[in-house]
Amino acid sequence: MEFGVHRVIGVERGASGMGDAVAADNYIVLFVSAGGCRVKIDQEIIEIAEYSLVLVPRGVQIDADPSETRFFLIIYFSESFFARTDVDAAFLRNFKSFNKQEYTYRLLSVPKEYATYYEFVGTQLKLSKLNYNQAIYRDLAYNIVKQIVLLAAIHMEERQSGEMLGHGSDIALVRHFQEMVRQQVKKEKQVAFYAAQLNIGSKKLTNLTKSALGVTPKEVIVAELLREGKKLLIETSYSIKQIAWELGYTSVNNFSAFFLRETDKTPSEYRKRWRL
C-alpha cells in the first residue's frame, strides 16, 4: 500500500500493522496526543512530549515500545504516492526533515487544539484506504497527507530552529532575537531595530547568528516573513491585499514583489499550487 495510518499502542503492536508502516521506502509522520508516549527510533527509546509531530525519514527504524500503554498515530506514505508531479518530487528531495543524512527524526510541537484535527485526519485516511479503488478517495488521501507535510515544512523547516553551536550567552541572545522576530516581524523588518533592542551592534548580531544558525539576521527575518505569508495563504481565505496588510506591507505590490523574489512564485501562484 502506498500510504496508510494506524493507531499504535506498544502492548498491542503485533496487531497494529506496524510492519507495513515501517517499510524501508516509507516516509513516516507520527502524531502524539495528550499524555505523550515512548517510541523506539533507531533502537533508542525516545519519550515524546504530548501534542507533537515527529517526522521520520525513509530508512530510519521505528517501532513501538512494548511496555507502552499510551497510543500514537502513525501516518506513512511512499514517494510514488506523494510525488504526483516533478514539483512534488523536488519538494520531498529538498525537505531536510525527511533527509536521513540530516536528521534521524525531527519534532514539532503543535497547539493542543490540533489534537482533534489529527484524529479527524486519521479517520479520513482510514476511510480512504478502505476505498482506495475509487479515485475520489485516492485524491482525498493525497491531499490530506500533502497538507500535513506542507504545514510541517512551514512551521519547522523555515523557522531556523536547528541545533545551535556556541557559548551559552551568545545562544541566549540568538534565541531572544529569534523570538523577537516571531513576535514583531509584522511591524519591524530591519536588522538595526532588533540589534538596538538587544543592546548590541548590527555587525555583532550578524556574527552571532552566522555562528549559531549559519545565516544572517536578515535571512532570519525573511524566513519568518515567508513562513507567516505562506501560512496565511494556505490556511486562510484572506485576499492577497489583506495578507500584505497583515504582514505590515502598506502596498500589496511590495509584498508580491518580495514573495516572488524569495520563492519564484507570486502569492496567488503559491496559493493555487497548494490548494490543487
pLDDT by residue, tens only, the chain of 276 residues: 588 888 887 655 544 456 666 666 889 998 888 888 888 888 888 888 888 888 988 888 888 888 888 888 889 999 989 988 877 888 888 888 888 887 788 888 777 777 788 888 888 999 998 998 999 999 999 999 998 888 888 776 555 444 444 455 677 788 889 889 999 999 999 999 999 998 899 998 998 888 777 789 999 999 999 999 998 998 899 999 999 999 999 999 999 999 999 999 999 999 988 765
pTM greater than 0.85 (yes/no):
no
Q: Residue 179: phi, psi to the nearest 5? A: -65, -40
Radius of gyration of the chain (CA): 20
| Cell triple for 221 | 527575518
Q: How far apart are CA 144 and CA 150, in angstroms?
A: 10
The number of helices, as runs of H, and strands, as runs of E, in the chain is: 12, 8
| Residue corresponding to grid cell 511512499 | 78
- Predicted local distance difference test score (pLDDT) of residue 39: 86
Burial class (CB within 10 angstroms; exposed 0-12, middle 13-18, buried 19+) of 92: middle
- In angstroms, the Cα distances linking 59 to 25, 26, 28, 104 are 7, 8, 10, 9
- Domain parsing of the chain, residue ranges: 3-157, 161-276
- Predicted local distance difference test score (pLDDT) of residue 10: 64
CATH number of 3-157: 2.60.120.280
> Coil, helix or strand for 275?
coil
Q: Which residues contact 152 (CB under 8 A, 6 or more apart)?
A: 29, 53, 55, 97, 108
- Predicted local distance difference test score (pLDDT) of residue 162: 44
- Predicted local distance difference test score (pLDDT) of residue 59: 86
Of 191, 201, 198, 263, the closest CA to residue 221 belongs to 191
Report, at the CATH architecture level, how domain 161-276 is classified.
Orthogonal Bundle (1.10)
